[in-house]
A and B are shown apart, each in its own frame.
Chain A
Amino acid sequence: MAEHEDVVWMHTERVISIVELARYCEVEESQVRELVDYGALEPTDPGAEPLAFDAECAPQVRSALRLCHDLELESATVPLVLSLLERIHELERSVRDLTARLGRP
Chain B
Amino acid sequence: MKFKDYYATLGVGRNAGADEIKKAYRKLAHKFHPDVSKEAGAEERFKEIAEAYQTLKDPEKRAAYDRLGTGYRPGEDFRPPPDWQQQFRAGGGGAAHEGGAFSFDDLDLADLFESLSRQRGAQRGAPRPRRGADYEAAVHLTLEQAFHGTQLELLLGGRKVTARIPKGATTGQRLRLRGQGGKGLDGGADGDVYLDIVLHEHGLFRVTGHDLYLDLPLAPWEAALGATIEVPTLSGAVNLKIPPGTAAGRKLRLAKKGLPKPGGGEGDLYAVVQIVNPTALDERSRELFRELAQHAGFDPRAHFAEATHG
Q: Which residues of A are interface residues toward B (Cβ below 8 A)?
A: 3-4, 6-12, 24, 26, 58-59, 63, 66-67, 70-72, 85, 92-93, 96-97, 99-101, 103-104
Judging by beta carbons under 8 Å apart, are B171 and A26 in contact?
no
Is B215 interfacial (CB-CB < 8 Å)? yes
Q: What band does the interface of chain B fall in when counting residues whose beta carbon is under 8 Å from A?
A: 35 or more
A8 contacts B35, C-beta separation under 8 Å: no
Q: From the candidates A12, A58, A100, name the one contacting B207 in the complex (CB within 8 A).
A: A100
Chain A min CB distance to B210 (Å):
11
| Contact A4–B206 (Cβ < 8 Å) | no
Return the CB mask of B168-201 against A: 1 if under 8 Å, else 0: 1001111111111000000000000010100000
CB distance B213 to A71 under 8 Å?
no
* Cβ–Cβ contact B215 & A8, under 8 A: no
- Report the bound CA distance from A25 to B49 in whole Å: 21
Is B134 located at the chain interface by the 8 A CB criterion? yes
Q: Bound complex: CA of A72 vs CA of B180, how far in Å?
A: 29
Instruction: Specify the main secondary structure of chain A where it touches its partner.
Output: helix
Interface string of B218-239 (1 = CB under 8 A from A): 0000000000000000000000
User: What are 25 residue pairs bridging A and B, where the CB atoms are less than 8 Å apart in the complex?
Assistant: A3-B164, A4-B166, A6-B177, A7-B163, A7-B164, A7-B176, A7-B178, A8-B178, A9-B175, A9-B176, A10-B173, A10-B174, A10-B176, A11-B262, A59-B174, A70-B29, A85-B35, A96-B208, A97-B208, A99-B206, A99-B208, A100-B206, A100-B211, A103-B206, A103-B215
- Tell me which residues from 130 to 183 in chain B have a Cβ below 8 Å from any Cβ of chain A: 134, 163-164, 166, 168, 171-180
Query: 1/0 per position for B10-36, CB-CB distance to A under 8 A?
Result: 000000000000100010011001011
Task: Determine the chain A residues whose CB is within 8 A of the CB of B208 once the complex forms.
Answer: 96-97, 99-101
Measured between beta carbons, the chain A residues less than 8 angstroms from B173 are 9-11
| Inter-subunit contact A26/B134 (CB<8 Å) | yes
Q: Is B240 an interface residue when CB atoms closer than 8 A count as contact? A: no
Chain B residues contacting A70 (CB-CB under 8 Å) are: 29, 33, 46, 50
